[in-house]
């Protein structure tokens, strides 16, 4: 059985597959729901309802069809439903989400593999570069362009340049191959970059996540006590609402801190894994094999080494890979929407 990429992506982003601790879910659940869960257990979460579906009046010109609009409910409008844990490690799910965070859907370009699809963005607006092709006397001309400009024109982004795929992909390949000539320098830069990123993440501060979770539980206990006090006419409704608003503000702040802390821990583990994998690939000469691999395999290898590119309207492309370094590529082989160029060159490489 072969699953579509979209199906796998939906599974990665589905909280039903990501384990949640009881103490994380408890503040979101009713007392009756909490009684059915084990305090030491882990559970997936299904959020319901999923989509708002609005059926529109039929188009008079096409009265056989009744269109509809779909939109996802905001998370605060949904009800969390605990389900049996998938058994997957939470770190695996979080790492997968980080890995696909910047993935984008490309346009159909025939049988040609667009090696930089999903890896290159527009430096002007930050949107992904989309892939395109045009027919010419030799078959097809393939190129990359800003998806924001592609969809909205200059209203979306002023960057109207087209980057010919053949030229750009060859320049990227040679820049990476040039960077790996001295393995020890690249390994040193990889470790230095990791240390810098680790220090930056840790400088944001943090606390024991268990302390925050206990604070959330205490807020829920205070909420229950306040409700009981109101039922016993010890406090007024106005006092209850004021107290509840204060507790809600405290809860929101703690949940934000907890989310940042958990994201930092996941990012650190991902960085360590990236560093170790990058060093291992460099030592074993894996990067040097890029020039002899098939385009499809080369694209996957680019992903493995963490390749990222940003294309600018002046024809330069800022290239970076994993934790190793970066290069600035300069090319006159960019075109406007109506023309094509021919030349390209590498401006330099940095660490």
Q: In 138-208, which ranges are continuous DSSP H helix?
A: 147-152, 165-179, 183-203
In a domain, 111, yes or no: no
Q: From the CA atom positions of the chain, what is the Rg in Å?
A: 26
In a domain, 106, yes or no: no
Sort residue 207 into left (φ over 0), alpha (ψ -120 to 50) or beta: beta
Whether residue 300 is found in the same domain as residue 328 = yes
Task: Note the pLDDT tens digit of each residue in 227-244.
Answer: 888 888 888 888 888 888
For residue 178, which phi and psi values (nearest 5 degrees)?
A: -65, -40
Q: Point out the domain boundary residue: 227, 250, 282.
A: 282
Whether residue 250 is found in the same domain as residue 274 = yes
Q: What is the mean pLDDT of residues 297-309?
A: 80
In a domain, 198, yes or no: yes
In terms of Cα–Cα distance, which of 174, 178, 176, 158 is closest to 166? Answer: 174
Whether residue 161 is found in the same domain as residue 303 = yes
Structural domain range at position 266: 194-282
Task: Note the pLDDT tens digit of each residue in 203-225.
Answer: 655 556 677 788 888 888 898 88
User: Tokens in use for 331?
Assistant: 């090319």
CA angle centred on 178, ends 320 and 172, rounded to 5°: 50
Q: In the chain, which ranges are continuous DSSP H helix?
A: 5-13, 22-25, 31-35, 90-100, 147-152, 165-179, 183-203, 209-231, 237-283, 295-304
Whether residue 260 is found in the same domain as residue 295 = no
Question: DSSP code of 181?
Answer: S
Task: Note the pLDDT tens digit of each residue in 66-100.
Answer: 556 777 888 878 888 899 888 888 888 888 888 77
Q: What is the mean pLDDT of residues 169-197?
A: 80
Whether residue 74 is found in the same domain as residue 142 = no
Whole-model pTM over 0.85: no
Place of tokens 């346009």: 107
Whether residue 168 is found in the same domain as residue 19 = no
In a domain, 131, yes or no: yes
Whether residue 198 is found in the same domain as residue 333 = no
Count of domains observed in the chain: 3
Whole-number Å distance between alpha carbons of 40 and 26:
12
Share of the chain above pLDDT 90, in %: 4
Query: What is the per-residue pLDDT for 279?
Result: 80
Whether residue 150 is found in the same domain as residue 84 = no
CA neighbours within 13 Å on the CB side: how many for 61?
A: 0
Q: Point out the domain boundary residue: 282, 303, 321.
A: 282
CB 311 within 8 A of CB 122: yes
In terms of Cα–Cα distance, which of 264, 262, 254, 267 is closest to 213? Answer: 254
Asked whether residue 4 carries a pLDDT value surpassing 60, the answer given is yes
In 42-112, the DSSP E strands lie at 42-48, 51-55, 68-72, 79-84
Can you say how many angstroms the Cα of residue 215 is from the centroid of all Cα atoms in its chain?
30
């Amino acid at each position: 059985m072969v699953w579509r990429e979209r199906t796998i992506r939906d599974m990665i982003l589905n909280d039903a597959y990501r384990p949640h601790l009881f103490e994380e879910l408890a503040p979101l659940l009713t007392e009756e729901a909490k009684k059915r869960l084990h305090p030491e257990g882990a559970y997936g979460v299904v959020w319901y309802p999923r989509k708002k579906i609005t059926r529109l009046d039929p188009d008079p010109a096409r009265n056989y069809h009744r269109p509809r609009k779909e939109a996802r409910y905001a998370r605060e409008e949904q009800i969390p439903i605990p389900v049996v844990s998938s058994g997957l490690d939470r770190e695996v799910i979080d790492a997968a989400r980080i890995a696909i965070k910047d993935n984008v859907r490309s346009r159909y370009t025939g049988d040609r593999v667009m090696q930089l699809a999903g890896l290159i963005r527009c430096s002007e607006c930050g949107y992904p570069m989309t892939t395109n092709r045009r027919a010419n006397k030799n078959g097809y001309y393939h190129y990359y362009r800003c998806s924001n400009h592609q969809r909205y024109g200059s209203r979306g982004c002023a960057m109207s340049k087209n980057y010919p795929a053949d030229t750009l992909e060859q320049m990227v390949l040679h820049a990476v191959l040039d960077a790996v000539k001295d393995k020890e320098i690249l390994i040193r830069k990889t470790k230095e970059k990791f240390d810098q990123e680790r220090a930056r993440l840790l400088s944001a501060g943090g606390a024991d996540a268990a302390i925050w979770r206990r604070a959330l539980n205490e807020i829920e206990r205070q909420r229950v006590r306040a409700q009981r006090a109101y039922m016993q006419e010890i406090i007024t409704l106005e006092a209850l609402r004021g107290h509840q608003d204060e507790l809600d503000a405290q809860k929101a702040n703690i949940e934000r801190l907890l989310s940042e802390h958990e994201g930092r821990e996941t990012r650190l583990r991902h960085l360590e894994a990236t560093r170790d994998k990058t060093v291992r690939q460099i030592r074993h000469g894996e990067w040097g094999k890029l020039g002899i691999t098939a385009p499809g395999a080369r694209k996957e290898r680019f992903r493995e080494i963490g390749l990222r590119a940003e294309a600018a309207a002046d024809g330069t492309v800022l290239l970076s890979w994993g934790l190793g370094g970066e290069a600035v590529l300069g090319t006159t082989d960019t075109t406007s929407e109506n023309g094509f160029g021919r030349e390209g060159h590498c401006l330099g490489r940095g660490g």
